[in-house]
Structure 1
């Protein structure tokens, strides 16, 4: 195949979820609805936390940041897909594609780290309740958010810059609805060994370490809950972390399902369809999980709406 340096590449083609023209209006309506629900639901969570003084605690501070990340995460991919469907133009510029890769990596990493921070917050609240306000002080909460953003930005910047030295072939079709880093590396004609090593290294480090922290936190949490003598006390303690545990299960479950199964069985197009679960469905479900399972949040939302 004829190759060209990346400076000559004007853009890529996003093949989307389906090439069937009759399905496009259905996809447009479906994804527009899910996107609006995601933005509205997470925005309500943020406004409820800001407006209700009872929710000015570390747990809801982290939750509002998670909602902001969910909005940003979905906004990185879905609007471009909707524009491509509406205009029947699947092209995305080279700069636009790399920009999408960068922000996608920033927000998925930030989502991952925030879930870890929230697990630590629940661990301190349940296992060390007497020292909770001392340990989870405003300064520490702010530092944890800033550290998570810094790690996410550095990771995305490093991986995005590593793409700049690649040259690409004449086949510039991406079988996905957004510019996924793994799909871009497959299109490169030059050697991608260093890029692949970096991807696996960072994925292992930023995937295994936070997940291990979450698992460790919940092992300690469950052991503490089981030592509570009353049934009502155990239920109350578990309810404080039930929503977070549901979100963690949904996020890691969908990510693992997509990447572990796609490596063995799924084609690129089927992997794109499966990716909808963690890129669109999970950010949309998070507000429902936190509002339906949390009495304080339901009360704050009622006050906000009324």
Structure 2
């Protein structure tokens, strides 16, 4: 299994001279399976560049796994060039809602006046699915989702292949103002889907001093992201969903604090950045720029 970060910013894209090291595009993670299948986790603005990179490829099938439908996780969908290929089967997965189906909710964004192309006019063959709470097979991997604490219907994803596990929880507030050391795991949002993961991409939008002003907003601070990772006994944490108001230097201050809290082990805590690549195989987990 191979993964690549195409966007890791939260809330709104933040391009600029002071965000070039970590990137300004919003959430999008590509996962390539041994079977040749491609999974795209979230459709933030980083999805546009992924679509350009895929122009010379001609997959017959693609899976888009949406954690939720906030605009920063959906805005790249209409600019994803593979969707304009009529020979492509695209399976779109996302959180269930008692109010509307997934297709109807996405169509609110992909329709005038918000977007010039209607969802129903996209040439690719689209099939919509509720995020699977029981494991399903996609190519050589098994995938399952779990509801997590955020604003509105939201899920996290667990992808297992060849004995390795990647978990993606980009928008997640497991603490809700209560320190996780005081919470039993049975009551902890996201624990079951994240436990024993080899690598966890987790929300770390706020510094620890910022979080008290944002309790209930649906995001984590450094301390809570790491406490969750410890509870879930994950091997490596990739801090994700960077605040749009944090520049590169500020993010590196947060990274230093995260590594201090994790006993200084650089190999187990890192910051997501655009272009970060991950390989999970029998030998372990490897990161490359």
So what's the TM-score if we normalise by structure 2? 0.25
Which protein has the larger Cα radius of gyration, Structure 1 or Structure 2?
A: 1
The structure showing larger relative contact order (alpha-carbon pairs under 8 Å, at least 6 residues apart) is 1
Q: Relative to total residues, which structure has the larger strand share, 1 or 2?
A: 2
Q: Relative to total residues, which structure has the larger helix share, 1 or 2?
A: 1
